[in-house]
Amino acid sequence: MNIDIKTQVVVLGGGPAGYSAAFRCSDLGLETVLIERYCNLGGVCLNVGCIPSKALLHIAKTIKEAKSLKHKGIDFNDISINLDQVRSWKSNIIAKLNNGLASMAKIRKIRIVNGFGKFVNAKTIVVENENKIIKIIFDNVILAAGSSPIKPTYFPYEANDNRIWDSTDALKLKEIPKSLLIIGGGIIGLEMATIYEALGSEISIIEINKQIIPSADEDVVKMFTATISNKFKIMLETKVTEIQSKHDGVYVSIKQKDYPDKIKRYDAVLIAIGRVPNRINLGLENIGVELDNNYIIVDKQMRTNIPHIYAIGDMVGQPMLAHKGIHEGHIAAEVISGLKHYFNPKVIPCISYTEPEIAWVGVTEKEAKEKNIQYKTSVFPWTCSGRATTSCCENGITKLIFDKKTNRIIGGAIVGSNGGELLGEISLGIEMCCDAQDIALTIHAHPTLYESIGLAAEIYEGTITDLINTQKANK
């Protein structure tokens, strides 16, 4: 069966970037078709990424807190884990959010076409779905096909071994291996480590760089590492040279700086070395969209080199974050509708939802040094926070980075429980060009974790009374 559709806008991909773009297009009065390969909207984030991982991380945190209370007079005895119930709970969360998206798409009268979309020419996409061939002719198209886990080529391994996982496999939670090696010490790897350690796995992490989470500042990572060093075995400046699948386990050849090469056996291996944009088999070669290192090149209006073709989300480069893609989707829709809007954010928050969380926003110290920005940092230790102490999460810091010339806040980082929830004030402060005094003179509720932001600003100002004042107040 052949079906022809004509529309004003086609959105290719139904993840956070794609469905946000489609919803915004509809709200602006544009006839919109959304192409999605799977039966549900939400993409990787909702179905096999952000949402299921946060559900499991919530369980991991609850297990940790329950165990810690044993030393405070409350003993829950042995914690038992029913994987079937955990998986069911996780699936119900995903289904609830899936249904919400489907309802919003229906209310907005967005036509959803399931299947793989491929460009025939710059104005036509063909979608094949079972026995249907759907030809969609459009005025504008927004590419939002997302990304997939990188499959390494620099060491051999048996791709069909169900003990060798990517992040999607790990979130299926089919079993809890006794020993789990995670290749990659970035955000995804560390979140999976947090989940599986809480569920009972012995965790080893291999990272090729000098520190885990290489994009974060060294002092922030050092604080985090000190907290989790008794949970995970972390091997830095280390490479995997081969993975051998045997009946009794997965054998990994490891090359570590300053150590002899070795082969270690694990019950499962998770490969979490990053993601690559989904651009293969889209037919981009048929229309001449320009690329840079596999990413689609766009301007600040999310427009490619072809004026009516836009691209957003993971397809256009780092950081590969849902909230970035959502904003890009809004911009693309607004530009198509005729608005003169641009994607030009000062900040894009980054969060590792580990325990404790690592969260940062704005300029890091690394970036400030690279850009020759004269800066000064101010760090408030959570050991001096009443709320952190009473909540058993005093292993944390709040760090602010200020421009030394203007005293304006340009960056910040949190290590601590629910640290990502504290980034809002820092992000807004940077966007609004607040200086240290603006933050310090804002009355923060006590006792709270977010008051650590105000206290860090007071340290910078030299007006803090909650700590010994080590510097003269700024005039």
**Known binding residues:** 54, 117, 184-191, 207, 274, 314, 320-323
Look up 247 and say whether it is catalytic: no
Q: Of residues 71, 330, 341, 446, which has the active-site annotation? A: 446
Long-range pairs of 320-326 with CB within 8 A, sequence gap ≥ 24: 320/147, 320/275, 321/348, 321/350, 322/15, 322/16, 322/17, 322/45, 322/50, 323/16, 323/348, 323/349, 324/348, 325/15, 325/16, 325/17, 325/20, 325/144, 326/16, 326/17, 326/20
3-state secondary structure (DSSP) of residue 10: strand
Q: Which residues contact 299 (CB under 8 A, 6 or more apart)?
A: none
| Encoded tokens for 474 | 């700024």
Angle, helices 50-68/83-107, rounded to nearest 10 degrees: 140
DSSP secondary structure letter of residue 371: T
Distance (Å, whole) CA 235 – CA 212: 9
Tokens 């229906």 found at: 106
Q: How many CB atoms lie under 10 A from the CB of residue 158?
A: 13
Element (H, E) at 254: strand 249-256
Residue list for the binding site for NAD(+)? 184-191, 207, 274
**Residues making up the binding site for FAD:** 54, 117, 314, 320-323
Q: In what order do the strands lie in the sheet with 357-362?
A: 350-352, 357-362, 409-416, 397-403, 375-381
Numbers of helices and strands, H then E, in the chain: 13, 24
Q: Cβ distance 68 to 391 under 8 Å?
A: no
CA distances from 99 to 53, 108, 109 (A): 19, 14, 15
Element (H, E) at 91: helix 83-107
List strand residue ranges (DSSP E) for 257-330, in order. 262-266, 268-271, 275-277, 291-292, 295-296, 309-311
Token pair of 429, please?
A: 């402060």
What residues are labeled active site? 446
